[in-house]
Amino acid sequence: MATISLPTRDRTFEPYRTGEPIAFPSRTETQKFNRIAYAAAHVVADPLADIDPWVDTAVDWEKTIAFRHYLWDLGLGVAEAMDTAQRGGGLDWPGAKTLIGHALAAAKTRPGALICCGVGTDHLEASDRVTIDDIIRAYEEQIEVVEGMGGKLIVMASRALARAAKSPADYAKVYGRILRQVKEPVIIHWLGEMFDPALAGYWGSADHGTAMATCLEVIHENAAKVDGVKISLLSKEKEIDMRRKLPPGVRMYTGDDFNYAELISGDEDGHSDALLGIFDAIAPAASAGLARLSTGDLQGFHGIMEPTVPLSRHIFKAPTRFYKTGVVFLAWLNGLQDHFIMVGGQESARSILHLAELFRLADKARVLHDPELAASRMTKLLSVHGMA
């Protein structure tokens, strides 16, 4: 345990004493989850690269891939090159392609390692000049690259399509064309506008119910090519509604970083699997909780997972797109990387008060691996800002 002085909203400081972290599950305890669970993983920046961070990108590939091994060690899958990896927010398609190559190569050294990789149209400028056929070709280009590497696909939402589409029929045309071509079933990712404002009105409507109907129609028409759908709308009601309308054999992967515990545990009509950014930050808790769930210990699952929900809601609070800052901050506190520097300079996207509250909530969720180390690093950060 450790004691640290943390700032409060009334501009004073108060002492905070940490508790005990969750014991790491062993590999043997995490081999037989009864849910598929992917953690959308972040990238580790190279802090010594001589670049302008707002313009250029430098990734520490060794530390980035080491973090994937950490997730695999805990029995979690890796969702690669997604928005948690700052895809489209510092990590461009060439960088994502390199990341995917490194991660797939690492996965091949680990029998049974789960990995799926994001493909999109982020190498295509979202402008009025872009046509629907341009968007199809852009998806095809990325799909060809990742399939050529042997990767399973997550079809990410397209900013270019959100801008170019004139009706739901344009979405049906794009997804229908690419789904007919893929080698094996994919995960479709519907990322809500709270995560990326450029995706407002996706599937052809600002009304999520109407948009969902279009998405479901696409899935039903191409069910043999769809492993599952991940929706990130931060609404358990919408996710459950869609989950109940999916074709047999098509999974719902929860992307709800506010309500994941109850969605994963499920109800009498079914459950969600998981593809979550928060599992990057709370990996030991997620692993331990899923291990309990797999033995039928629902109370044990919720006992571990529920304390992490306030932490997740804080990390993903509006503006939600800045959640990556909290994810990387917690990795640094936990000694999983040596610095709190991010691609695109995104370490500055959240306030010191936000990070101080994150520290408290992470401790209450028991996901500070080494409280003494975390307190030492938090104190250093406060000192840099003239607060310690």
Q: Stretch 250-269: mean pLDDT, rounded?
A: 97
**In the chain, alpha helices (H):** 61-73, 93-107, 132-148, 159-164, 168-181, 208-221, 236-243, 260-265, 278-281, 283-294, 298-305, 308-315, 323-333, 352-364, 371-384
pLDDT at 28 over 80: no
- Amino acid in position 214: T
The predicted structure's pLDDT at residue 30 = 46
The predicted structure's pLDDT at residue 33 = 94
> pLDDT band at residue 23, thresholds of 50, 70 and 90?
confident
44: number of Cβ within 10 Å: 25
**In 33-148, alpha helices (H):** 61-73, 93-107, 132-148
- What 8-state DSSP symbol labels residue 337? S
As a whole number of angstroms, the distance between CA 138 and CA 321 comes to 24
Percentage helix, strand, coil, to 5, in the chain? 50, 15, 40
For the domain made up of 24-345, the CATH class stated in words is alpha beta
> pLDDT band at residue 38, thresholds of 50, 70 and 90?
very high
> pLDDT band at residue 139, thresholds of 50, 70 and 90?
very high
The predicted structure's pLDDT at residue 135 = 98
pLDDT in tens, 101-128: 999 999 999 999 999 999 999 999 888 8
pLDDT at 253 over 50: yes
Q: What is the pTM of this model?
A: 0.95
pLDDT at 29 over 60: no
The predicted structure's pLDDT at residue 209 = 97
pLDDT at 27 over 60: no
The mean predicted confidence, pLDDT, of the chain is 95
Rounded to a whole number of angstroms, the distance between the first and last alpha carbons of the chain is 20
As a whole number of angstroms, the distance between CA 158 and CA 143 comes to 14
The predicted structure's pLDDT at residue 288 = 94
The predicted structure's pLDDT at residue 22 = 80
pLDDT in tens, 144-198: 999 999 999 999 999 999 999 999 999 999 999 999 999 999 999 999 999 999 9
pLDDT in tens, 195-232: 999 999 999 999 999 999 999 999 999 999 999 999 99
Q: Which residues contact 3 (CB under 8 A, 6 or more apart)?
A: 15, 16, 17, 18, 375
Residue 78 near residue 103 (C-beta atoms within 8 A):
yes
The predicted structure's pLDDT at residue 205 = 97
- Return the axis-axis angle of helices 283-294 and 298-305, rounded to nearest 10°: 170
Residue 2, helix vs strand vs coil: coil
Q: Stretch 274-278: mean pLDDT, rounded?
A: 98
Q: Stretch 380-387: mean pLDDT, rounded?
A: 92
Residue 275 near residue 238 (C-beta atoms within 8 A):
no
pLDDT at 312 over 50: yes
Q: Stretch 24-53: mean pLDDT, rounded?
A: 85
> pLDDT band at residue 31, thresholds of 50, 70 and 90?
low
Q: Stretch 15-26: mean pLDDT, rounded?
A: 85
